[in-house]
Structure 1
Amino acid sequence: MPNLSTILKGEITRLARKEIKAAVDPVRKANAGQRKEIAELKRQMAALQRDLKASLKPSKVVKQEGEAPAGTRFSAKGLKSLRAKLGLSAGEFGLLVGASGQSIYKWETGKGVPRASQLPALASVRGIGKREAAKRLASMQ
């Protein structure tokens, strides 16, 4: 037969665990809710920081006629692919941007770079297609 003290000790332990669980469960649930809220606030803060960073970047709007957009970059590989896309020779492309065919060739091979004054003309040619390029060439010749 089990000892009375062992049974009593086991019953006290069981009741103590039950009481502790009843007291800790609301705290545990509140903790989980607060963690979810903190995670959501962190996501909102990251989104706001991204928006702020994007708004502080210089805009790429043309400020004056003939002026290069802020942040205009030049890439020899990009120039070569643009000329190929338009299906133009280096000389024809040079007519469009106001440079010689030799200059276009040097820019494409990386042996030279366009002057800052030539960047607006290059930027204006970026968005056109074959038909528009042909029209512009026809009007220039």
Structure 2
Amino acid sequence: MPNIASLLKEEIARVARKEVRAETSSMKKAVSQYRSDIAALKRQVRELEQQSRKLRRVTSKVAAVSAEPTEKKLRFSAKGFAEARRRLDLSAAAVGLLIGATGQSVYKWEQGKARPRVKHLAKIAELRAMGKREATARLEALAG
């Protein structure tokens, strides 16, 4: 014959399990919904990252294509620069004044010991296209 205490204990445990199950079922449903929402968000983030990578590739190609025709690449040759200075019959200091650099920099550029900065390359290109008269006129304008 079962003991009343053990029967009572079993019944209390059964009722407690039933109550806990009722309380946690809504929480389990919510957790399940949250997990599916998180998975959907992860998929969405992955798709957006892929679209972003594609757009970056396309925009970099477009930027490279559009920048090429408008931007003229300037080259520098120490020998050519020295020849242009001799052709114009100018001193290194005078050429430096026209370009916006020092005479010492001009000497170093001609000897190949240094390279002009990008800001000077455009002025050097202008210098190559100048004649003697134009160069002396610009020097006079800068001096006076």
TM-score (norm 1): 0.51
Give the match for residue 106 of structure 1: 108
| Cα displacement (A) at 1:137 | 0.2
Give the match for residue 80 of structure 1: 82
* RMSD value, Cα: 1.2
**Bigger proportion of residues as helix:** 2
TM-score (norm 2): 0.50
Tell me, in whole angstroms, the C-alpha distance in 2 between the residues paired with 1:123 and 1:135.
Answer: 18
Give the match for residue 126 of structure 2: 124
Give the match for residue 140 of structure 1: 142
| Cα displacement (A) at 1:140 | 0.2
Instruction: Give the counterpart of 2:94 among 92, 95, 107.
Output: 92
| Cα displacement (A) at 1:121 | 1.0
Give structure 1 stretches of 5+ with no counterpart: 1-57, 64-68
| Cα displacement (A) at 1:139 | 0.2
Tell me, in whole angstroms, the C-alpha distance in 2 between the residues paired with 1:83 and 1:125.
Answer: 9
Letter in structure 2 aligned against 1:71: K
Tell me, in whole angstroms, the C-alpha distance in 2 between the residues paired with 1:83 and 1:126.
Answer: 8
Tell me, in whole angstroms, the C-alpha distance in 1 between the residues paired with 2:77 and 2:126.
Answer: 15
Measured against aligned partners, the alpha-carbon deviations of 1:75-132 in whole angstroms (never above 9, x if no partner) come to: 0000000000000000001001000000000000000000111111111111110000
Tell me, in whole angstroms, the C-alpha distance in 1 between the residues paired with 2:72 and 2:135.
Answer: 24
